[in-house]
Structure 1
């Protein structure tokens, strides 16, 4: 006969096993830059070049990444497995990068992704990332957010923006959606923000043909193309930015001024971050 204590232990183990269900997405193309977070990483690992998959100095304010990154029990994204885990980027009132006083900003740059000469800006590259919402650290969607983007090396433009919230100057935009904008800041696709599901995205940039294409799925469904390969200006090299950039309201100078409420405690959960070589049409779905 099984003792009551052992039965409780077995039941708890079964529940735990179900709660850490792993993604089944298979990576079939060469990985150029890896933002996967090994399951054994601790917060302080993200403060050192030797132990972090990301640049420990950028992009953040005065607080170290060990103070602003969380590791929630969010289950696994589509491309995570038993050896990797998700990471949550958070912002607060102190999240001011350099002198950008209008923004509240924190973000991840994959190590090896340099501003000039990056392996991420040649040939055909696909950036994969999955996002999930934290019910305790919701975004204030009356603001405009940049969540993922590729910024040109001279900082004059972004080859694409993956955004949420209320887009400044676009009164007809739905704040409750994720949006992909091209270099001209024209929206090419959107989907509602799901409060509970993992949402999986892939953005292919063809640096030879100057095109952009978007892929999407939820939870553990395979990615599907949701746009054609669209004409886009991918010139200017630069880096991929992954995290949160919250713009202010009430100003035309969003970098330096404007309204940000006090008591900010917001987060975005990310998983399955990697950049792959999509030469010859290779896409991990």
Structure 2
């Protein structure tokens, strides 16, 4: 649990952030938003603990700590699709970040309100998930581990339609551990890019749930997104939910959910901005 000093420091940062955020994103959303993970600029830490005030499910995904103890308000410039009424949020993990009985993982994550496991508007037709990430120099990831940061998980929890990952993927070489990687339903890497320690990195993944395809878009800071893959065949069946945050896998085990090595003193974070899912019917996508 965070100390009262840390909590009130977070509140002070939150209240002073507007004075530091002179630059706002210029990205224009041109397609209907079906699920919004935008974080209101005036939100307070405790707002994340109630379904009445949080843009995310207040109960998932976390351990015993409330989201008011997990999430931070970093003082950073806005991501591409954030505006004067929204802000960045940082998901953090520590030694206590154990979800349910998944003792091998250190995990905390965001599920957008309204993104149900079955019948979600995010799994109908053609949808594009947008998210921007930025690194916290004070809470760096330990890239000798494998991380899932954004993914879409089937309703039966048997597989993911896509994964946005970083670090050393289990069973793979560590040569690209400093890269963000997009993997398809078969866990085949379809695209990667180095982690930028300073810039906002903007991603979008279009999932066609009718034709079973995916396509990846990318840019930095306030540059327009560009397609970085072709339209690729992908098994998007199984419905499910979008997961956004940090899932840190252990090392030294084949049973990554339940056991393995996690160092002590974990203090890691990933900053997110501009989280939303739009309807990309007829090829619509916000760039």
TM range (shorter): over 0.9
Matched with 1:31 is 33
1:181-196 aligned within 5 A = 181-196=183-198
CA distance in 1, matches of 2:166, 2:78: 22
Q: Secondary structure at the match of 2:272?
A: strand
Structure 1, residues 89-136: CA drift from partner, whole Å, max 9, x if none?
000000000000000000000000000010000100000000000000
Report the equivalent of 1:9. none
What's the CA shift for 1:230? Answer: 0.3
1:37 and 1:209 mapped to 2: Cα distance? 32
Secondary structure of 2:156 counterpart: coil
Q: TM-score normalized by structure 1?
A: 0.93
State whether structure 2 residue 94 is matched by structure 1 residue 73. Answer: no
Match of 2:53 in 1: 51
Paired position in structure 2 for 1:273? 275
**Residues of 2 paired with 1:201 and 1:267: CA distance?**
18
Is 1:159 aligned to residue 161 of structure 2?
yes
Deviations 1:159-192 (A, max 9, x none): 0000000000111650000000001000000000
Which of 103, 120, 123 in structure 2 is aligned with 1:121?
A: 123
CA contact (8 A) 1:167 1:173 kept: no
Q: How much has 1:17 moved relative to structure 2?
A: 6.3
Local SS of the residue matching 1:44:
helix
TM-score, normalising length: structure 2: 0.93
What is the CA–CA distance in structure 2 between the aligned matches of 1:19 and 1:252, rounded to whole Å?
A: 45
- 2:134 alignment partner, SS class: strand
Distance in 2 between the 1:124 and 1:29 partners? 12
Distance 1:108 1:185 in 2: 22
Give how far 1:18 is off.
7.2
Tell me what 1:223 maps to: 225
In the alignment, which residue of structure 2 is the partner of 1:255?
Answer: 257
SS at match of 1:120: helix
**Residue 235 (structure 1) aligned to one of 234, 237, 252:** 237
1:190-247 deviations in Å (ceiling 9; x for gaps): 0000000000000000000000100000000000000011000000000000000000
**Distance in 1 (alpha carbons) for counterparts of 2:103 and 2:174:** 27
1:8 aligned residue: none
Residue by residue over 1:52-95, the C-alpha shift from the partner in whole angstroms, topping out at 9 and shown as x without a partner, is 00000000000000000000001100000000000000000000
How has the CA–CA distance of structure 1 residues 172 and 165 changed in structure 2, closer, same or farther, with 3 Å as cutoff?
Answer: closer
Tell me which of 260, 279, 285 is aligned to 1:283.
Answer: 285
Question: What SS does structure 2 have at the residue aligned with 1:66?
Answer: helix
Aligned positions, number? 270
**SS of the residue 2:274 aligns to:** strand
Aligned match of 2:142: 140
* 2:8 aligned partner: none
Corresponding residue for 1:3? none
Give 1 or 2 for the bigger CA radius of gyration: 1
- C-alpha distance in 2 between matches for 1:171 and 1:85: 36
Tell me, in whole angstroms, the C-alpha distance in 2 between the residues paired with 1:175 and 1:30: 36
RMSD: 1.0
* Deviation for aligned residue 1:20: 2.7
SS in 1 for 2:122: helix
Q: Hey, what does 1:85 align to over in structure 2?
A: 87
Please tell me whether the aligned partners of residues 105 and 247 of structure 2 are also in contact (alpha carbons under 8 angstroms).
Answer: yes
